Structure 1
Amino acid sequence: MSEQKNEFLVGYAPGVYDLFHVGHLNILRHARSRCDYLIAGVVSDEMSALAKGRRPVVPLTERLEIVRSIRWVDEAVPETVPSKLEMWRRHPFDVIFKGDDWRGTDKGARLERDFATVGVGVVYFPYTVHTSSTLLRRALDGRIGAATEPA
């Protein structure tokens, strides 16, 4: 008779989660379906500015509250360091989830290489192309500009 191993998998889904939208929801839902416990790493304002060259619209404390309120998220933690491996040291996990816009990129290859050294799997989920925080930000910028112009 073969012995069956029950493995408890902890997943990590990092993101800025700014202007929360259905793409964020999709990543978190899919991630939770692939692990037993899901940690969402919410990138800090400073780390977002460092990585993307701009600060989020919604402050970190509010983004953390939104993400921790999602039923598929077991824990939401601020991601305050640029290294995903450092986040793994602080909050150990077995698999990291990213949008497939990272697949085949230098960032994705580095992520896969780094996590292979500690036995963490990298799983990509489809990127929601019809909506993103960048598209929402552009739409808001256009409306704000139009609304502030004199009539």
Structure 2
Amino acid sequence: MSKRVITFGTFDVFHVGHLNILERCASLGDTLIVGVSSDELNYSKKQRYPIYDQESRLKITQSLRFVDEVFIENSLEKKREYISFYKADILAMGDDWQGKFDEFSDICEVIYFPRTPSISTTEIIEIAKNI
């Protein structure tokens, strides 16, 4: 039976950490669906807009050969709806979200992956600002 995997993220200033987690998510099943945070959602979470707009982030994520489907995530409160709509068997996230999505284990398996050490979008942005 084929497995459908869903994950969510901003995927701003795309880097090897993003690539690693998306590859790990893809390895869990046959179909990988990625929810990319909208510009407005990112602003509401972090009080700043992403460096790359949502269409650019969507296009970058879509271009990966192991990503099957991409959509814009407009609300953190709709994760359950997104999981159900895309018929996901597995929700996979980075371990910086450990425990935060366990509530969805009634409708799918929830897996947390370790983040790639020593890399984060926030750090990259800070370094770039100081060059």
Q: Same fold (TM over 0.5)?
A: yes
Larger RCO: 1 or 2 (CA < 8 Å, sep 6+): 2
- In structure 2, which of residues 92, 97, 100 is the aligned counterpart of residue 97 of structure 1? 92
Per-residue CA deviations over 1:13-56 (Å, capped at 9, x if unaligned) read: 11000000000000111111111100011111111111222211
- In structure 1, which of residues 76, 80, 87 is the aligned counterpart of residue 82 of structure 2? 87
Q: Give distance in 2, aligned partners of 1:89 and 1:98.
A: 17
- TM-score by length of structure 1 reads 0.81
**Secondary structure of the corresponding residue to residue 87 of structure 2:** coil
Residue 44 of structure 2 is aligned to residue 50 of structure 1: yes
Q: Give distance in 2, aligned partners of 1:90 and 1:48.
A: 22
Residue 116 of structure 2 is aligned to residue 128 of structure 1: yes
Per-residue CA deviations over 1:89-113 (Å, capped at 9, x if unaligned) read: 332211111111222xxxx34x102
Q: Give distance in 2, aligned partners of 1:86 and 1:135.
A: 32
Runs of 4+ off more than 4 Å: none
Q: Give distance in 2, aligned partners of 1:43 and 1:140.
A: 22
Q: Give distance in 2, aligned partners of 1:67 and 1:14.
A: 11
Q: Give distance in 2, aligned partners of 1:25 and 1:137.
A: 18
> What is aligned with 1:116?
105
Q: Comparing 129-138 with 89-98, which one deviates more in the overlay?
A: 89-98
- TM-score by length of structure 2 reads 0.93
Bigger CA radius of gyration? 1
C-alpha contact 1:12 1:96 (8 A) present in aligned 2: yes
> What is aligned with 1:41?
35
Identical counterparts, % of pairs = 37
Q: What code does the residue aligned with 2:118 have?
A: H
Residue 67 of structure 2 is aligned to residue 73 of structure 1: yes
**Secondary structure of the corresponding residue to residue 76 of structure 2:** coil
When the two chains are superposed, the root-mean-square deviation of aligned CA atoms in Å is: 1.2
Cα shift at 1:139: 0.8
Q: What is the number of residues matched between the two proteins?
A: 130
